[in-house]
Chain A
Amino acid sequence: MLLQEALARRRATRIRDGDDMTDMGDTEGEDWMHTKTLVKPDDQLDLSDQASIISQLKEEFTRILTANNPHAPQNIVRYSFKERQYKQTSHVDQLAIHFTLDGNMLHKDSDEAKRQRARLGLPEVTQEAAGSEGGETTPAAAAAPAEGEEGKEEGKEGEQTEETTTPAPGGAEAGKKLTNQFNFSERASQTYNNPYRERGTATEPPPRATFSANVTQWEIFDAYQEDFEKQEKSKEKKTIPGRKEEEKTRKKLTITETQGDDVSRISKAAKIIERMVNQNTYDDIAQDFKYWEDPSDEYRENEGTMLPLWKFSFEKAKKLAVTSLCWNPRYKDLFAASFGSYDFMKQGNGMILFYTLKNPSFPEYVYETDSGVMCLDVHKENSYLVAVGFYDGSVGVYSIGKKEPLHRCTAKNGKHTDPVWQVRWQKDDLENNHNFYSVSSDGRIVNWTILKNELTYEDVITLHMPDSSGEGPDGTKVSTIGCGTAFDFHKKNDYLFLVGTEEGKINTCSKAYSSQFLDSVDAHNMAVYKVRWNPFHPRIYITCSADWQVKIWEVSSQTTADKTEGISNESQTKKPLFTFDLNNSVGDVAWAPYSSTVFAAVTADGKIFMYDLSINKYEPLCEQMIAQKKKTKLTHLEFNPFDPIIIIGDDRGNVTSVKISPNLRKMPKEKKGAPPPDPAVKEANEIAKLEKLLAMVREPSDDKK
């Protein structure tokens, strides 16, 4: 058994090795088993004989091979319906089937195969590909490759199996690789959803109102009736347009009223704001005003400077000249300035402005007048009262806060016929009425008294030329009058006052004598522009004139001593104590309020001169250009009674304030040493100081005499 098995295996392997090997193997391997016996068919030709071989070989057999089936019938006749006769069919089927064998193989992808596979529970396609045939044929066929000695049929099958199996490994490989071409994979991903946020606003609903009424025929009727009557009335009046106009004006009125109210309501706040803004804007100037002292003064003995501070200008007053300045006696930062024109050919309107140092940008009060304002004076006790003299000769009294003047004289009640050059408040009279004086070119000096509601006047004195009065006996008796241009009242003696005239005279007058002068001096060659008493010394006064000169005078001792006696020798004071030539028309001169020896003067070429007689009797301590433009004339100046500043007016409507440096004002203190608190002592000192100077000057003049 074992041997047979082994043999069978050997064979099988040999057969597998290849077909060509079988013959060789058979011959070699089976030599020992078979004897050399040749089996021959009976009819096989014997080729041993040569001749017969040749003849046999030459013999020809002729055979024609056709594809016709010998068994197929040749004469098949069929009935042709078309031709209605039997016809022989030419085409006969020559095919003869000798053998048929139905195969039992299936394509692996066919439905049947799938079904079978499913039945067998073989899920894998690759395995099936390898063993599908074997498994499907028979169990014997599965072993077919192993057994080589089956029939031809089997052999063929084996070959077939081999053919199919040869691609099998390839199929297995493909099974690994091969992807299902209908393979479908689904991929998905979810994006992140932004969170929602709600936001909503609600608008305000449009305003609504309710309305209700009842409609009835009688209401309609009444309404029509009423309307009809109204129409009738309006037709009668015929004032439909008029009414409209009235309504309009009424509306306007109400509008203006309300506006006025609005403005006035915020006026105080607005004023504060304005002041604050100005305080910021002009902060540096305010600092200078308060604290700046020219440090260079320490190194200059006899010189001083003036530091320009605020400049006050008002658009409407640009073309007018400053005609007078006056500090308010109560509020030391407030001053009044009058505006007019000195040019005879260019007279126009005038203006009064009140400025405060706290607000240089805009005046506190503005009064516009129809005539040029030539002078003003603020009442000493009642600082709201302002006396004003106009170019047209009238005088007026303004009250601060009221737009219109309280009083204004007319041609009927004593108006001057020429410009009023100066006004000055006096002490209230015995009946406690306010009164003031005015001087004008018409030669009259008038005392104006404010009675309850009217302004009464009284001519105090009429200036006449002493020369012409001398000519009087000549027969012509033409009383030529003197044109008054300036006056000043004595500080102590109520009745005593000085009048400067256009002719250059200085008349010493008394309120008590209306016909005569106490004294008369030919002081200047041209018009006297200003005359002022010394604030300390009772007999000294200063004058300035268009003849370029400033002079200091002393009232004759007799006159001052015996004021009541009146006239005395006029020759006493014919000569000035001091004369200063300023090289241009001197518009104004003023004593300093703090020293008896200090005064300042402004000229038409834009300069200010400041003298201190106790330091230098000949040269000014300070000579400074104030006007910023050429050809600007300085017209007036005024010392502030409290602070070391001067306000200077020019003919272009500007008021400039300057601070005077320590050198120009410390001298009196220095002289005094420790300044005495008592004003009386101070005054005495001041007088003494001036007296000392005068002593030096008087002697030569006495000598001359």
Chain B
Amino acid sequence: MAEQTEEKKEPESKRAVHTYPLIRHSDMNDEMRTEAMELCVTACEKFASNNENAARMIKETMDKKFGASWHAVVGEGYGFEITHEVKNLLYMFFGGNMAIIVWKCS
């Protein structure tokens, strides 16, 4: 971890520009997408040091707002292959190093 952080520091200056949320892939409708995106941003800012809590917050809030069975993954490096209900997927980057995927599948 220590090495990684050190490595990061160099491009940090460049990357500092791009900390805005960037939606990479989504098939949600506009309203839902913006809401989900904002939620992800809030969660990641709130639990900047704890991805698990951030993911939990995203999942629980989405469950409340859009019905049960949401799943959220927050992390810096991972691979995934998921099956989601159509119109219920959001894959976005945030903060320059964070990837968040939120999807619904019951």
- Give residues in A with beta carbon < 8 Å to B: 206-217, 220-221, 223-225, 227-228
Number of residues in B with C-beta < 8 Å to the partner?
Answer: 31
- Interface hub of A209, A214, A220 (most chain B Cβ within 10 A): A220
Partner pick for B77 among A206, A216, A223, CB 8 A cutoff: A216
CB-CB under 8 A from A225, the residues of chain B are 18
Assuming the A-B contacts A213-B91, A223-B24, A224-B15, are A208 and B79 also in contact, with contact meaning beta carbons closer than 8 angstroms in the complex?
no
Cβ contacts under 8 Å, B78 to chain A: 214-215
Chain B CB count within 10 A is highest, among A213, A216, A228, for A213
Min distance, Cβ A365 to any Cβ of chain B, angstroms: 46
Contacts between the two chains (Cβ within 8 Å), count = 72
A208 touching B15 by the CB < 8 A rule? no
B22–A223 CB distance below 8 A: yes
Q: Of B11, B18, B77, B81, which contacts A210 at CB under 8 A?
A: B81
Tell which of B30-38, B39-47, B52-60, B82-90 binds the partner. B82-90
Q: Of A206, A209, A211, A216, which one neighbours B91 at CB under 8 angstroms?
A: A211
- In the bound assembly, the distance between CA atoms of A631 and B106 in angstroms comes to 78
B50 — which chain A residues lie within 8 A by C-beta?
Answer: none
The residues of A that contact B24 with a CB separation of less than 8 Å are: 213, 223
Per-residue A-contact encoding for B13-31, CB less than 8 Å = 1, 0 else: 0010110001011010000
Across-interface contacts of A213 in B (CB, < 8 A): 24-25, 79-80, 91, 101
Q: B11 to chain A: which residues have CB within 8 Å?
A: 221
| Contact of A210 with B83 in the complex, beta carbons under 8 Å | yes
Question: Max chain A CB contacts within 10 Å: which of B18, B80, B97?
Answer: B18
* In contact, B86 and A209 (Cβ under 8 angstroms): yes
Task: Please determine whether A214 and B79 come into contact, CB atoms closer than 8 angstroms.
Answer: yes
Q: Please indicate the chain B residues that have their CB under 8 angstroms from the CB of A224 in the complex.
A: 15, 18, 22, 93, 96
* Chain B residue nearest to A207 in the complex (CB): B86
Cross-chain pairs A/B with CB under 8 angstroms, 30 sampled: A206-B86, A208-B105, A209-B27, A209-B83, A209-B89, A210-B81, A210-B82, A210-B83, A210-B84, A211-B84, A211-B89, A211-B91, A213-B24, A213-B25, A213-B101, A214-B79, A215-B76, A215-B77, A215-B101, A217-B8, A217-B76, A220-B96, A221-B11, A223-B24, A224-B15, A224-B18, A224-B93, A224-B96, A227-B22, A228-B17
Bound complex: CA of A228 vs CA of B16, how far in Å?
Answer: 12
Tell me, in angstroms, the Cα distance from A223 to B23 when the chains sit together: 10
Contact residues, B65-85 vs A (CB, 8 A): 75-85
| A223 B82 Cβ-Cβ under 8 A | no
The contact of B75 among A207, A211, A215, A227, by CB within 8 Å, is A215
Task: State A210–B91 Cα separation when bound (angstroms).
Answer: 13
Q: Is B99 an interface residue (CB 8 A)?
A: yes
Question: Does A228 contact B82, Cβ atoms closer than 8 Å?
Answer: no
